[in-house]
Amino acid sequence: AQSVAQPEDQVNVAEGNPLTVKCTYSVSGNPYLFWYVQYPNRGLQFLLKYITGDNLVKGSYGFEAEFNKSQTSFHLKKPSALVSDSALYFCAVRAGSSNTGKLIFGQGTTLQVKP
């Protein structure tokens, strides 16, 4: 069965410091991996995805993520955090062989960036 784990409920960082939000996954076959961000009372905003190719994926707002097949991980990173990055972050996976759009989401990680 497909699953996604985000082991940290909350990550706290100081503005200007690097941030990492962790994600591990389990899926049959090649994974399609996604990161979304959710601000209060809003829908999900797409940040980036990994389908194939370079393991380091760059996305919106300076975020990037590294796909690690051996560790089945897809951690979200940013070199320098901003207070405005504070939000709820979701990792999601879809089996590459699936012809439906079914995304399996993690429980979410709240990122708190303090000035």
Partner 1 sequence: ETGVTQSPTHLIKTRGQQVTLRCSSQSGHNTVSWYQQALGQGPQFIFQYYREEENGRGNFPPRFSGLQFPNYSSELNVNALELDDSALYLCASSRLAGGLTDTQYFGPGTRLTVL
Give whichever of 42 and 58 is closer to partner 1, judged by the CB atom.
42
Tokens of 110: 């709240």
Closest CA to 96 of 75, 71, 67, 76: 67
Q: Give the footprint of partner 1 on this chain (CB under 8 A).
A: 4, 34, 36, 41-46, 49, 90, 92, 94, 98-108
Tokens of 27: 């899926």
| Minimum distance, C-beta of residue 24 to partner 1, in the bound complex (Å) | 14
Give whichever of 80 and 97 is closer to partner 1, judged by the CB atom.
97
| Minimum distance, C-beta of residue 105 to partner 1, in the bound complex (Å) | 3
Terminal alpha carbon distance of the chain: 41
Give whichever of 36 and 78 is closer to partner 1, judged by the CB atom.
36
* d(C-alpha 85, C-alpha 90), whole Å: 13
